[in-house]
Amino acid sequence: MQFRQVSHLIPIEIWSYGIGRHFEAYIGYCLYHVLQTATFVSGISVVITLFLKYEAARHRNFDRRRLIIMGILTPLALSVLMEMILIITQSLPSEKRERFKMLNADVTDHSIVGYVDFDVLPSVINASIMSSSVILLPTVGILSRWKMSVYIKSISDKSSQVQLAQKKTFANGLVLQTILPLLFYCPISIAYFATAKLHYEFTFQQFFMFLTPAFPALIDPYITIYFVTPYRNTIKNWLGLKKRVSPSNLTVVNSFMSSHP
C-alpha cells in the first residue's frame, strides 16, 4: 500500500495506491496514521539516541534522563491521541464510510481514504506537532552534539591520547547523526508547506512525505558501528580486516566501552 498526501488540494486529500485502494477508506486512513506515527517515532528515536550518548558520557543521574525523555515523548503521545480522535470522528461513522464508498465506487489507480482538514481541531493540533518536530528534533540533536564537544574539550587534559582520539572519533559520528535529521526533515517539510501554500503539485513530496524522514533511523546504526571504535574493531575482526589486538589495547577498548554504554 502506497499513500500520497495531495497537499496542493483544499482540503488535502490522502490517496491510496496498490492493493490498498480496494479496501474500505477507514482501513487506509488507519494505516496512513500508523505510517505517520512510525515516521515520527523513527525521528524521535534518533534524537533520544543522541541524547543518551551524551548523558552516558557524562554519567548523569538517571532521574534527569527520564524526565527529559518523557518531555521528548510527550508530543508523540499527544499526536497519537489526536490521530485516534481523527480516526473515530472522520472515518468510522457510517455516514463517512458511505461517502467514501460513493467517492471510490469507480476506483482506478487510486482511492481517497481521508483528508487533512485544517478546519478540524485535532487535525490542526496533529499537523502543528509534526511541523514543530521538524525544528525541535534537529535542535535537540545539535544541542547534544555541542554539549558533547564541550565535554570532550573539558576532559582533554585528564584523558590519554588513545582515549581522547576515540572520543573525538565518537564525536565525529555524532556530527553526522545530527546532520541527518536536517538533511531529511527540512527539505521535504519546506516542500510540503510550499505546495500547500502555493497549491502547486510536487509529486515527489506527496509520495515521499513520510518515507524520507525515516531514513535517519535507517542510517543511524551504521554510523554508530563505524564511529564507535570498539564496534568498528569488532566488525573488522569478524571480516578478517584487522590484525588481532594485544591485551593492553583490549584494556583501553574495554575502558572506552564502559564509559559509553
Give the orientation angle of helix 215-227 with respect to helix 161-198, to 10 degrees: 170
Predicted local confidence at residue 56, as pLDDT: 67
- Of 10-14, 146-150, 235-239, where does mean pLDDT reach its minimum? 146-150
Helix (H, G, I), strand (E, B) or coil at 6: strand
Closest CA to 70 of 94, 48, 97: 48
Percent of the chain with pLDDT over 90: 22
When pLDDT is averaged across residues 118-127 and rounded to a whole number, the result is 91
Reported as a pLDDT band with limits 50, 70 and 90, residue 123 is very high
- Side chain identity at residue 143, one-letter code: L
Strand positions, DSSP E, the chain: 2-6, 12-17, 111-116
pTM: 0.75
Q: Which residue has the higher pLDDT, 254 or 189?
A: 189
Type and span of the H or E element at 258:
helix 247-259
- Of 50-54, 110-114, 218-222, where does mean pLDDT reach its minimum? 50-54
Predicted local confidence at residue 26, as pLDDT: 94
Predicted local confidence at residue 111, as pLDDT: 93
Predicted local confidence at residue 96, as pLDDT: 93
- Of 26-30, 39-43, 147-151, where does mean pLDDT reach its minimum? 147-151
How far apart CA 152 and CA 147 sit, in angstroms, is: 9
When pLDDT is averaged across residues 134-143 and rounded to a whole number, the result is 73
Cell 548523569 belongs to residue? 60
Q: Which residue has the higher pLDDT, 193 or 150?
A: 193
Predicted local confidence at residue 15, as pLDDT: 92
Q: For 188-207, how does the pLDDT look when each residue is reduced to its tens digit (9 = 90+)?
A: 888 888 888 888 888 888 88
How far apart CA 56 and CA 258 sit, in angstroms, is: 10
Residue 151 CB coordination number (10 Å): 15
Q: For 202-231, how does the pLDDT look when each residue is reduced to its tens digit (9 = 90+)?
A: 888 888 887 787 787 788 788 878 877 777
Q: What is the mean pLDDT of the chain?
A: 80
Reported as a pLDDT band with limits 50, 70 and 90, residue 90 is very high
Predicted local confidence at residue 33, as pLDDT: 93
